[in-house]
């Protein structure tokens, strides 16, 4: 399938805002063009049409496949143009301070393997788990999961987008992961105007796993232990049920109905709620100190 530029009018020069506006205006036509496109075609279209494009990843299996595809497309284009090889899409990795050691190891291995520039962001003002817990207390995710998600994931990601002037990102979301992801479009725009591209939206876990094996893609060693969806160590367990069941059933398995960490929720609503809770927590700490 040949996927051509779906933009109604090509912006001139480096007018990033005009490019983004053009994509947003033509989003229905763009998604119609990309609906049945291969992941590689979606990635190639994105590289050609989206300014300030990054890949945001926690190095799940889908993210690793996307990274490999970007690397191959980058190499092909460099060869065609007779230019030095350069990974075309930089990485953003949010280190929550609660990742598995295997995830942290993979982030370094994968970035080095693909020679991909990687920007690492951590919770604001803290570089270690000890520093985070000194400020917010132990096991914040048990006491206030919304505030926890905001502090370790949503705020660092938003800070990355602002500091790096990110206008578009590749995600690792797929329809087969169910819940809110079941109705994904190839290209989406969130409430902040950030363009989110889901190149593997039509693939199953089996499709992703097959690609990893066929192309020797670096992956998280926890997958060999039966894990399928991997996040923070305290919210990740083996998938529930029999083989072939929901791959994300091992995420937040003790949190009834929770399916997302906050990165793909309404940012402004999430921010207001989290900041309100943080103010209340700060007042409670001051009251306790004065008692």
pLDDT digits (tens, 9 = 90+) for 118-163: 999 999 999 999 999 999 999 999 998 889 999 999 999 999 999 9
Name which residue leads in pLDDT, 230 or 92: 92
Specify if 134 maps to a domain: yes
Domain residues for the domain of 131 are 16-284
* pLDDT over 90 (residue 286): no
* pLDDT over 80 (residue 281): no
Strand locations in 71-194 (E): 91-94, 118-121, 168-170, 187-189
- Hey, is 94 helix, strand or coil? strand
Specify if 289 maps to a domain: no
Domain count for the chain:
1
Specify if 291 maps to a domain: no
Q: How far apart are CA 206 and CA 290, in angstroms?
A: 57
Specify if 227 maps to a domain: yes
Specify if 10 maps to a domain: no
Give the CATH number for residue 257.
3.40.50.620
Specify if 11 maps to a domain: no
Specify if 120 maps to a domain: yes
Per annotation, catalytic residue among 261, 263, 265, 274 = 261
pLDDT digits (tens, 9 = 90+) for 39-83: 999 999 999 999 999 999 999 999 999 999 999 999 999 999 999
Rounded to the nearest integer, the mean pLDDT of the chain is 86
CA 87 to chain centre: 18
Specify if 8 maps to a domain: no
Instruction: Determine whether 22 is an active site residue.
Output: no
If pLDDT is split at 50, 70 and 90, which confidence band does 252 have?
A: very low
pLDDT digits (tens, 9 = 90+) for 211-223: 999 999 999 999 9
């Amino acid at each position: 399938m040949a996927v051509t530029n779906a933009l109604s009018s090509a912006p001139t020069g480096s007018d990033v805002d005009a490019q983004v506006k053009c994509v947003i205006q033509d989003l229905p036509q763009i998604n119609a063009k990309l609906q049945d496109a291969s992941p590689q075609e979606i990635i190639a279209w994105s590289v050609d049409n989206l300014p300030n494009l990054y890949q945001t990843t926690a190095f799940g299996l889908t993210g690793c496949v996307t990274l490999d595809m970007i690397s191959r497309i980058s190499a092909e284009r460099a060869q065609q143009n007779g230019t030095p090889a350069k990974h075309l899409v930089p990485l953003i990795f949010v280190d929550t301070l609660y990742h598995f050691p295997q995830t942290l190891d993979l982030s370094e291995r994968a970035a080095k393997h693909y020679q991909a520039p990687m920007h690492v962001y951590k919770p604001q003002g803290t570089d270690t788990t000890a520093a985070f817990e000194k400020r917010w207390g132990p096991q914040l995710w048990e006491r206030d999961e919304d505030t926890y998600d905001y502090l370790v994931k949503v705020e660092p990601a938003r800070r990355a987008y602002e500091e790096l002037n990110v206008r578009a990102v590749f995600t690792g979301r797929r329809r087969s992961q169910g819940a809110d992801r079941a109705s994904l479009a190839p290209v989406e725009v969130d409430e902040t105007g950030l363009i989110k591209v889901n190149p593997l939206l039509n693939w199953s876990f089996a499709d992703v796993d097959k690609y990893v094996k066929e192309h020797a893609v670096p992956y998280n060693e926890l997958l060999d232990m039966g894990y399928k969806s991997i996040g923070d160590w305290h919210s990740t367990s083996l998938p529930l049920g029999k083989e072939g069941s929901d791959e994300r059933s091992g995420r937040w398995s003790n949190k009834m109905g929770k399916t997302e960490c906050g990165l793909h929720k309404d940012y402004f609503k999430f921010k207001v709620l989290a900041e309100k809770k943080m103010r209340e927590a700060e007042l409670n700490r001051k009251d306790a100190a004065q008692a």
